[in-house]
Amino acid sequence: MGRRAVVGALIFDERGRLFVHRRGPDRRFLPDCWDIVGGHVEPGETLLQALARETSEETGWTLRDARLVHVEDWESEGPTGPDRRREFDFIVTVDGDLSRPTLERPKQVAFRFITRGEIALLDENRRADDGFVRRIAELAFTERDRGSEP
């Protein structure tokens, strides 16, 4: 369908806070914006393989379990025209020290865990992502509150 598959990992800590990281200022897409863990599915990878790889690359944590909670088509302007994507977002559990992620620098330059009450932090992205990351974060909190862990 002309869309690249991408995955997103919605990672909560033991206090129910959602992990977000700030993308580096030199990134072509969403520079210096808050984002969730994730990225493109490489040729030959399944969604879960890509999710595990991206989680490890961007945090150093190991994917333990995942549950699909959202699929959405979106696009951004690429170097030669529209870059169309289909995003698959999962609530995941991971193994590793959640207080010490290993960021993939310089692609990610900062991190934090946010509560539902701190979700307005993601409004910093509004001009760049039309509120997409915030909507995914809100969905993650709603799914978590339903008690539907992976």
Categorize the per-residue pLDDT at 73 as very low, low, confident or very high, splitting at 50, 70 and 90.
very high
Q: pLDDT tens for residues 9-23? A: 999 999 999 999 999
The CATH architecture annotation of domain 4-145 reads: Alpha-Beta Complex (3.90)
For 17, residues 6+ apart whose C-beta sits below 8 A from its C-beta are 113, 114, 115
Domain boundaries, the chain: 4-145
Mean pLDDT of 39-66: 98
Do the Cβ atoms of 117 and 36 come closer than 8 Å?
no
Q: What is the pLDDT of residue 1?
A: 61
As a whole number, the mean pLDDT across the chain is: 93
Q: C-alpha distances in angstroms, 116 versus 135, 140, 141?
A: 12, 10, 7
Say whether pLDDT at 112 is over 60. Answer: yes
Q: How many angstroms separate the CA atoms of 121 and 114, rounded?
A: 8
Whether omega for the bond prior to residue 82 falls within 30 degrees of 0, making it cis, is no
Residue 146 has a pLDDT of: 85
- 1-10, 28-37, 90-99, 117-126: which is most confident: 90-99
DSSP classification of residue 100: S
